[in-house]
Structure 1
């Protein structure tokens, strides 16, 4: 791998670290806006933000070191270009016989590969070697004398298809876009248990009781009972076979393929949490119907508030207050396009009363995108289906973030690189896999806004 490729990788790693740090900072700001926040939650988030900040510093220093090394390499190359071996120096003017014409500046018999010419071109391009410029000028004058008619014909690069080499900017390759895992990143994280293919939770379904006692009468008693909540550990995996020629003769082929596998892994995980039959969020959430042939953002907002009210009613004292709204990007922008002259009667902390919430102008997948008028953070996730209902509807989900549980291995996804299995065909098998489990129904609290009011939006300002 060249130094330039290492620098490109370091820049990509730095960009990723900066995005992660920004995501943790956004999460911290959203947490601080929650009036029910706890000091432990803030301290934990600050620690995450500081860890991400330290990673940015480390990546920045690594990039600076590589760039300094590149500067030094360029300096040495320029120094070498200015240094002509003594054996190649032309003899003094008064120490040679001259017969009819001067010697050429660049002579094939002294430099068959043209290395001196190449060094002079580089040195002249760097702008700090006037002798190199003089030699190149003399060379062009000599060319005009000997081959002036050919130079005047001005052949273009098309005349040298075998010499004008196409350049491929591998550091600027365009990955296939992916929806990735915005909702999964917002869920409450747990480490995957070391063993087993099911996860079991005890859920109290019959509670104890109290009542007003009649004097000398027995006090109220109800036997407590639980129901076992069981959900499966699932495997998310994908593979790709590459020829050894592609890996060994290509530029960055393996990292590109691995990056794409990681993107598909994240997208599949997130889509499963939202859309899987029976247990996906769309199938466990209670519907708040929004039916309207001419929907408007102003009409949709009260439905969102109704859904949030349902979340709190289901959780009661178990509500953390850490509610989020999860919606497709087209729905988020539709809410932003609305214009109006009215505003909520009750103001909310940090929200201008005359606006329909606030947009943080962050990139897709970077965490909280903004807040609704009542301060509820918005997660934008394009794994939400847009072909529901009559075929063009999406849904808005309202949940308590702390009751959306996701178990993952801390090192997931895993990567297997197997060469032996495909050795006979010079193939290399790349496999990405990971285990996960999830549940949104420890308490049946989730709500979704659904119906004809959420058909494909038209951006008309209402």
Structure 2
């Protein structure tokens, strides 16, 4: 194995260590936001984060050592090239390789959109030898400047947008994904290390008390519970890449891995909301909003009705940390309303003349704003928009965030890179997977606003 190949391996190992360290740090941040955290759990996660940090340092030092060796080798090679025996006849001028500031074949300052590169690709297929020569020079330049990335696999045809000049791949566009705003907002737990179910005890028959008549028996009702069994589910995806795509493409493997992680998050979050039987939409008690000409002023009382239902269901178990979860189109519709009427009761931190506040944060970054009564809003585009008889309705969910439970493996999602299964085809199999369990039904507290009042919104200012 060459020194360049060792450097390429060391860079890949460093990238993997950095990714692992970031996952451990994210897990630590998520753990610290859990109200029920213990010092032992935090200390254990800090230890895992520090171990991952130490691994990054070790990998970085190994890479720096290899790169220093490469620099020394290059210096010796240059020195040897300048040391020519006196008896050796100097070669002709046109037979000497010279190193200078020769311009790149495709330059961003002359061809920002890469149209020259694209024309040459098309012309080369039609037999244009000059175009083939320019493409060959470009590949030689890429090997000289980014050899570690080229020595790295879906086929190269699937990544035609990446096997191009570097100034074009810097701005590659990942596939947009809804990701996991709702999953990040609810109460998270570490998934138990073993088993494919999570079991909870629910008190379904409580004790009782009553006023006693003197010398009569004291009231008694036997307490009883029901076992609540929650299935552990597996979220997974795979992609087989050809070695040609990995080794001849530019950063193809990290791009595919990033896309798999984004889709993993989206599937998890969508499952929490939309899965039949157990998803939020399935278990929430419906509050009907039926209106052929819906307005924000008419929809808002339904929000309060739903919140009243949440608190009535939880009684003293209500944490008060209610959230409203809605699609981005519904959030912007609620912001479009204009009115001259103000609420009779003002809320902390919200001026009476406002119909809520927009915090100006980006999608997926947490709370987007607050409704007029102060309820935080989570915007999640995994919410379906094809509901109802006209297949054009969405839903608004009102829940106590602490009674929506999500158990995840602390290391999820996990990554497998296997070369043996597809070795005969020069394929590399990449698999991303993780285990999770969830429930919104420990108490029947969740509410949803649904009906013809939530058809595709029109932005008319009401």
Scaled by the length of structure 1, the TM-score of the pair is 0.71
Partner of 1:397: 397
In structure 2, relative to structure 1, the CA distance for the partners of 1:211 and 1:252 (3 Å cut) is same
Q: 1:442 maps to which residue?
A: 442
Instruction: Give the paired residue count.
Output: 396
Counterpart position of 1:137: none
Q: How do residues 52-451 of structure 1 correspond to structure 2 at under 5 angstroms?
A: 109-110=92-93, 112=95, 115-118=98-101, 161-162=134-135, 165=138, 167-168=165-166, 169-389=168-388, 390-451=390-451
How many angstroms does 1:316 deviate by?
0.3
**Alpha-carbon shift at residue 160 of structure 1 (Å):** 7.9
| Residues 169-193 of structure 1, C-alpha deviations (whole Å, 9 max, x = no match) | 3232111111111111112111111
2-side partners of 1:121 and 1:109: how far apart? 24
User: Do the aligned partners of 1:360 and 1:370 also contact (CA within 8 Å) in 2?
Assistant: yes
Q: Could you say if the C-alpha distance between residues 117 and 207 of structure 1 is closer, same or farther in structure 2, counting changes exceeding 3 Å? A: closer
Mapped partners of 1:173, 1:108: distance in 2: 45
Per-residue deviation, 1:163 = 7.3
- 4+ runs of 1 displaced by more than 3 Å? 85-88, 107-114, 157-166
Q: SS state of the match for residue 392, structure 1?
A: coil
> What secondary structure sits across from 1:195 in the alignment?
coil
CA distance in 2, matches of 1:442, 1:117: 71
Distance 1:162 1:207 in 2: 78
Alpha-carbon distance between aligned partners in 2 of 1:461 and 1:171, rounded to the nearest angstrom: 41
SS of the residue corresponding to residue 172 of structure 1 reads coil
Q: Which structure's CA Rg is the greater one?
A: 1
Q: Distance in 2 between matches of 1:396 and 1:183?
A: 12
Q: CA separation in 1, counterparts of 2:135 and 2:223? A: 84
SS of 2:402 mapped into structure 1: helix
TM-score, with length taken from structure 2: 0.71
Q: Distance in 2 between matches of 1:203 and 1:190?
A: 18
Paired residues of 1:108 and 1:114 also in contact (CA < 8 A): no
- Where structure 2 has 5 or more consecutive residues not aligned to the other structure, the ranges are 62-78, 85-89, 105-129, 139-163
Match of 1:134 in 2: none
The 3 A distance-change label for structure 1 pair 121 and 164 is closer
Please give the alpha-carbon distance, in whole angstroms, between the structure 2 residues aligned to 1:356 and 1:108.
83
Shift of 1:337: 0.8
Distance 1:299 1:178 in 2: 32
Distance 2:249 2:282 in 1: 45
CA distance in 2, matches of 1:278, 1:447: 15
RMSD of Structure 2 on Structure 1 (CA): 4.7
User: Structure 1: where are the runs of 5+ without partners?
Assistant: 32-37, 66-82, 89-106, 123-156
Give me the whole-angstrom Cα distance separating, in 2, the residues matched to 1:267 and 1:347.
37
Contact kept? 1:311, 1:399, Cα under 8 Å = yes
Q: Distance in 2 between matches of 1:421 and 1:350?
A: 59
Would the aligned equivalents of 1:326 and 1:378 in 2 still touch at CA under 8 Å? Answer: yes
Q: Does 1:453 align with 2:442?
A: no
CA distance in structure 2 between the partners assigned to 1:175 and 1:121 by the alignment: 30
CA shift in 2, pair 1:111/1:350, >3 Å: farther
The answer on whether the counterparts of 1:234 and 1:435 sit within 8 Å (CA) in structure 2 is yes
Rounded to whole Å, the distance in 2 between the matches of 1:370 and 1:187 is 16
**Inter-partner Cα distance in structure 1 for 2:82 and 2:241:** 51
2-side partners of 1:452 and 1:436: how far apart?
34
